[in-house]
Amino acid sequence: MNNFWTQLLISFIGSIPALLFALWIEKQRLPRLEIIASEEANADNTYKEPNPHAGERWKFFRVLVKNKPFIFPFHWIPRQTAENCRAKIEFSKVGTEKQGFSMIGRWASTPELPHVPNDIVLKLLHPDPVTIPVHEKEFLDVITKHESDKEAYGWNNEAYLHNWKTPSYKLERGKYLVKISIETQNGKTFSQKFELLVSDKIEDSYLKNL
């Protein structure tokens, strides 16, 4: 009997590393989102007819969000898809005590606002989420700037109701701290901070990782 219990104890102790490794693998399989500011993510557009802003140049500053795969030697482990990702963007001006603002993020690949009033309200409160498989990426809108304006504006679905310039999301010239948080249905939230400079010219304005 003593031998039986000894063997059982040895088996139990021997199984602990395998169990811990399996739990670690399962945790690591959760999505791993990386939020990056880069020129690749931005869109610099001069619009043509029949766009209501025909002849105008606007630049949209965005971030790239990608679901990272496992690195070697664990690259064989399948990473989970980041399900129903929703974003929140917070702005605060550097060097001032003036209170900033936050807004619900808009994914660049999602449809513009519908024309049905009830649907508009729904999309304002609950913008379309995106799903990001491993190795894939999505672009998240942050701000827009018109070439003749000194200021910029936070960009999300509300912009379509304000001729692309939402008053409550106005960004005067200066430097800002921007925090982007992305919540996934998988139960994980990812955050990244950025430096935003709103300058007189589009070419001198930037959004970069901190």
Rounded Cα distance, 124 and 141, in Å: 15
Most distant pair of Cα atoms in the chain: their distance? 89
pLDDT given for residue 123 in this prediction:
82
Give yes or no: residues 16 and 98 share one domain.
Answer: no
CA dihedral of residues 34, 37, 41, 43 (deg, nearest 10) = 150
Map 35-48 to HEC letters.
Answer: EEECHHHCEEEECC
Q: For the CA atoms of the chain, what is the radius of gyration?
A: 23
20 is written with which tokens? 């811990």
Same domain assignment for residues 7 and 46: no
120 Cα distance to chain centroid: 22
pLDDT tens for the chain, 210 residues long, are 567 666 666 666 666 666 666 666 666 768 999 999 999 999 999 999 998 899 999 999 999 999 998 777 666 678 889 999 999 999 999 988 778 999 999 999 998 876 656 677 778 878 999 999 998 999 999 999 999 999 999 999 999 999 999 999 999 999 999 999 999 998 889 999 999 999 999 999 999 999
Which CATH number belongs to the domain containing residue 183 in this structure? 2.60.40.10
The number of domains in the chain is 2
State how beta strands 152-154 and 137-146 pair: antiparallel
- Do 49 and 143 fall within a single domain? yes
Residues 24 and 94 in one domain: no
**pTM of the entire predicted model:** 0.84
Same domain, 37 and 26: no
Query: Do 49 and 66 fall into the same domain?
Result: yes
What is the per-residue pLDDT for 4? 63
Residue 71 sits in the same domain as residue 1: no
Same-domain status, 91 and 1: no
How many H helices and E strands in the chain? 2, 13
**16 lies in the same domain as 101:** no
Residues 95 and 1 in one domain: no
Q: Which backbone phi and psi does 174 adopt, to 5 degrees?
A: 140, -175
Does residue 99 share a domain with residue 73?
yes
Residue 147 confidence (pLDDT): 96
* Whole-number Cα distances in Å, 11 to 4, 20, 24, 73: 11, 15, 20, 28
pLDDT, residue 187, reads: 83
The pLDDT tens digits for 14-34 are 666 666 666 666 667 689 999
Q: Are 105 and 158 in contact (CB under 8 A)?
A: no
88 and 120, same domain (yes or no) = yes
Kindly report, residue by residue over 102-128, the tens digit of the pLDDT: 999 999 999 887 665 667 777 887 899
Measured CA to CA, the distance from residue 123 to residue 113 in angstroms comes to: 7
Domain encompassing residue 15: 1-30
